[in-house]
Amino acid sequence: MRRETLIVGTLVVVFFLSLVLAIRYGAVAIDFAHLDKIEKNILFQVRIPRVALAALVGAALSLSGLLFQYVMQNPLADAFTTGAAASSALGAVAALVLGAEALVLPSGLCGAMVGLFTVFRVASFRGRLLPVTMLLAGIVVSTFASAAISLLKFLHEDSVASIVFWLMGGFQNASYGRVGLLVLVIGGTLIFLWKRRLALDLAAFDDATAVSSGLSIDRLRRELLFLGALLTSVSVAFSGIIGFVGLIVPHILRLCGFYRAEHLIALSLLFGSTFMLLADLAARSILPGGEELPVGVLTSSLGGLFFLYLLIHRKRQLYEMD
């Protein structure tokens, strides 16, 4: 208990430090003690909405990864490896090239749901989910979605620059409206999950144990799939593709000894927000002259290395799971 308390306390401290640093530093360093008119505009119209959106997207992606891992009973599942992110991006890009920006969010949600349903059906055999098969199905869906996005870019050359920039992931288009919508989506998801936290603990076991305890596991999986797709599609619509956050965060928390749903839910939000704040701060600070790296490039690089580490060091366990 003392070790867990120390980890939680450290996470809280690091989160608030990351929040202050992310607000203070960037292309323009802000001195909170001496704010002129320009710095006030930068702070309240640019920096605060961007930092808030980054923190919320990190929380949403971490939570969606946790939900997909419950559904698939696989610690390697997240919005990226299940194909949900790429499918959502395909739906959003289709809306962009058609000039229907108002439909980016619902189109992204439809794309994510279609992709997840495909993966779920392919990875199911006689009522049992095959974890490694699920990963392969996710790769197939992601590949198809990426190919379809490339085709749309080829057919709509005038939109290529904006699509590519958006797909690499970032928070340049942050606004208080987007922040408010994400707060509502995450808040509603948390209310539902908190009421179902005991069911989530049962779902972590095998299906026979969950069913014998009176849990409708199929219904729970459908609900979690929808919530995971909703969190993913909102994140993708507002920030583009930012991969592997949902894989890294819940897995590290489990390595630290957190297994109960109520702990994983709360700490995934906190850790995911901190991770994204630091990633966005690094993206704004690494290059000289105020240039920015795409946040998705950083998170995908870290996530790819982490994913490779898991595959190498957990080969035997993954083989036995399928």
What is the per-residue pLDDT across 107-152, written as a single tens digit (0 to 9) for each? 888 888 888 888 888 877 766 666 667 778 888 999 999 899 888 8
Confidence (pLDDT) at 319: 47
Tokens of 172: 């340049």
The contacts of residue 13 (CB under 8 Å, 6+ apart) are none
Can you tell me which residue has the tokens 């994510």?
112
**What would the two tokens of residue 123 be?**
């990875």
How many beta carbons lie within 10 A of that of residue 35, not counting itself? 14
* Nearest alpha carbon to residue 297 among 249, 240, 248: 240
Closest among 320, 214, 271 to 65, alpha carbons compared: 271
Burial environment of residue 27 by CB neighbours within 10 A (0 to 12, 13 to 18, 19 or more): middle
* Residue 32: both structure tokens together: 């909170």
Convert the pLDDT of each residue in 6-38 to its tens digit. 888 999 999 999 999 999 887 777 888 788 888
Radius of gyration for the alpha carbons in the chain, expressed in angstroms and rounded = 20
Domain 49-321: homologous superfamily in CATH: ABC transporter involved in vitamin B12 uptake, BtuC (1.10.3470.10)
Cβ atoms of 96 and 237 closer than 8 Å:
no
Displacement of CA 266 from its chain's centroid (Å): 15
Tokens of 285: 């600070």
Please report the pLDDT score of residue 284 as a whole number: 87
| pTM of this structure | 0.89
Strand intervals (E) in the chain: 124-125, 128-129
| pLDDT for the residue numbered 18 | 95
Domain boundaries, the chain: 49-321
* Higher pLDDT among residues 199 and 272, named by residue: 272
pLDDT at residue 322 above 60?
Answer: no
Q: What is the mean pLDDT of residues 176-203?
A: 92
Spatial separation of the C-alpha atoms in residues 93 and 87, rounded to whole Å: 10
